[in-house]
Each structure stands twice: as C-alpha cells, then as structure tokens.
Amino acid sequence: MKYLLIENANVVFENCIRRSHILIHNNLICDTDYSGELPEKCEVYDAQGAYVSPGFIDIHLHGGGGADFMDCTEAAFKAISEVHLKNGTTTMVPTAVSSDFSDIIKLCDVYRKCMSACPNFYGIHLEGPYLSVAMKGAHNEKYLHSPTTEECELLLTHGRGIIKRITAAPELDNMEFFAKKMCDNGIHLSVGHSDATSEVALKAFDNGFSHITHLYNVTPGVRKVGQQVKAGIVEAAYLNDDVTVELIADGKHVAADAFRLAVKIKGTDKVCMVSDALRPAGTDEKISYLGEKIPENLVIIEDGVAKLPDRTRFAGSVATSAMMLHQGVKLFGFSVCDAVRMMTSTPARILGMSDRGSLHRGKLADLCVFGEDLEIRAVIKNGKVL
C-alpha cells in the first residue's frame, strides 16, 4: 500500500490551473484535491508552487538518445524510452519509418520483448510503407507501395494488439480494402504523406481514416491539378469536424500563424502536438540517420531541425516533449493550459487511451512537474518519482 502526496502544486487541469494537493495510491491517482491526514508511510513531494500536469503523450516519434526504432534492438528501444521519459514523455507510440517489410515484422517482435522494460510505450505507429511517392518527404522511395492482401494478413498476425495506428496515403490502390481490414481490427488510420485531393480525403474519412499525420507537412492544400484548381488534405481536414490533426511542434516544421489557425478552426480538443523526433533528439549530434544507419538515410542537424543533406527537405525533428511545451507557450503563444491539453488529453482521446491524459481519480499516476520557466523539474511515472 504505497502512497505519494504531491503538495503545493499549481495543478494543470483540462480547463483551469488551481493550487491543490494530489494523492497517489500505488500507480493511480486517488484524489486531486486532498486535504485529509497523511496515510501511513506516505511519501511527500513538495512541488513548491511548480506546475503539475498529466504526463505528456507523444503519438509520433522515431527515436532519440542516438537510437532509432528501426535499429530493432532492445538496447535502442530502452535508450529511446529513457531519453524521452526524462523529458516528460510518460506515454509514447514508437513509430516506424518506411522500410523493408521484414524489418517491420522484426520491429513488432522486438517491441514485444521490450514492453515491460519500457513502461512509457503504447503500441506501434507504422508511418509507411503505404505512402505517396510524390509526397515521400524523407522516406526512401524504394520501399513505398500500395498495400497487398498478404501484407494485411501479416500485419494483423504479427502486429495484433500492438500496432495502434497506421499512416497511409488513401489514393493508393487497394486502400479501401486495407482501411476496412485495419479498422475492423481496431487500428487507427491517419492520412499522411499523401497527394490526395479533398474529394479523395473526404471519402477516406468515410472509409475509416480519422486523423491527419503532421498537418501542413506533405499534406498538400489547394493546388492546380491539370487545368483545375483542387482543394487538398488541409481543406478536407478543416471541412470535417470529426477529423483530428497532429502538428509537429518543434517550432521549425510549422509556421506559428499556421499552427494557430489550425487550433482556431479545429480547437485544442482536435489538435495534438507531436515531435516526429529522430535519433538525435536529446543529443548534440550534428549528423545522423533516418531509420537504418546507411548512407542513403543520412540527415544533418542544422538550425535545430533534421534536414536531408542537400537541404531540400526537413527530415523530422530533434524535439522532446519538454521542447514542445516551451514552443507551445513561448513561440505559438498558447496558454499553459492549452499547450498541455494538446500534449495530454487530446492525444489520449485520439488513440482511445481512457486510463491517462488527464488528472482525475482512477487515472494512471503519470505526471510532469515544471516551473514558470517551463523547464521539467520531475517526472512521475506509475506513481514513482523519477
């Protein structure tokens, strides 16, 4: 029977910030406004007036601490888990970059081995290989293709219960069949790295897609197709009130006004922040790799963002949740409450994480403590101060 009392905290609830005390029993929150006597053998953490929020949730990141999930080793998985956990990410969805299909299967196998050692993991996100060549971004074109029936079955066999979300381009062949199979098995589908017009995207929403991966980044808007002006994915996302979106919140990938526009149109309950972090996140590396460490996957770190060596495209970020919190408040101009919501309750709601993302009785005791300077002071995972 382990108790932890967090006292003297400015607690960040979904719609307000209030001075309060939080009582934790084992790994669950049991009171967010505790005023009784201390339970026997209760540990006390004095927040000294700092903010205490739910632990941050990042549903799209590829690596950190010098490791990438496509390294497919237990050591790499643990390194990524640890560097992001200490930066406030108490829940993350490991993301695979487009690669050989055998590596995706291997990724699933390694994930299963690491589940207990990496307590902040919450399933796998496949970003590819079902992406548009025209909107490949930094993904390796040789791996991109339409889904096949055989691959659908392999994903559902090897990834059962652990593949939580898939980013795909809905204009590809066989995509309606793929979408139905994935949705029938509870896998969240997102439009991304797609050249779809608004007509195609809106139809995809009817077929089970419900989210946009890194809006504004290889998700084109209005453009000329042949001799006709067509709306695109951005407009489709704004037209459908139910569709949620994620934006890379490193301060480099999305212009501040564009980020604020998305929030103005969709609301903070439909917009979440993601890092899209690569292996150099949490390090000082200036040269790194997207996915496997081979020459064709080389990226450079410059101006605080990962780029292809020819500087024609960004290739992911070097952000952590701690950095996103800072950018959300200082660069994009959101209140602490709104920034935290887009990093906690909103991503939790998007992926159906009913046990976390907000500070309520019975929720997992995953919390972050940070000061007025927005620097992380402590992370609490499953009721333990790290």
Residue-wise pLDDT tens digits, 42-69: 999 999 999 999 999 999 999 999 999 9
Q: What is the mean pLDDT of residues 353-357?
A: 97
DSSP string, 362-385: TSB--EEEE-TT--EEEEEETTEE
Whether residue 279 contacts residue 288, with contact meaning beta carbons closer than 8 Å, is answered with yes
Determine how many CB atoms are found less than 10 A away from the CB of residue 261. 15
List pLDDT tens digits, range 126-173.
Answer: 999 999 999 999 899 999 999 999 999 999 999 999 999 999 999 999
Q: For 166, phi and psi rounded to 5 degrees?
A: -135, 130
> For all residues of the chain together, what is the average pLDDT?
96
pLDDT at 297 over 90: no
Residues 229-244, mean pLDDT to the nearest whole number:
98
Q: In the predicted model, what is the mean pLDDT of residues 360-377? A: 97
Asked if residues 191 and 211 have their Cβ atoms less than 8 Å apart, the reply is yes
CA distances 374 to 74, 287, 326, 328, 346, Å, are 32, 28, 6, 10, 20
- Is residue 1 over pLDDT 80? no
Q: What is the pLDDT of residue 121?
A: 97
- pLDDT of res. 290: 83
Percent of the chain with pLDDT over 70: 100
pTM of structure: 0.96
Token match 């607690």: residue? 11
End-to-end CA, the chain? 19
Q: What is the pLDDT of residue 85?
A: 98
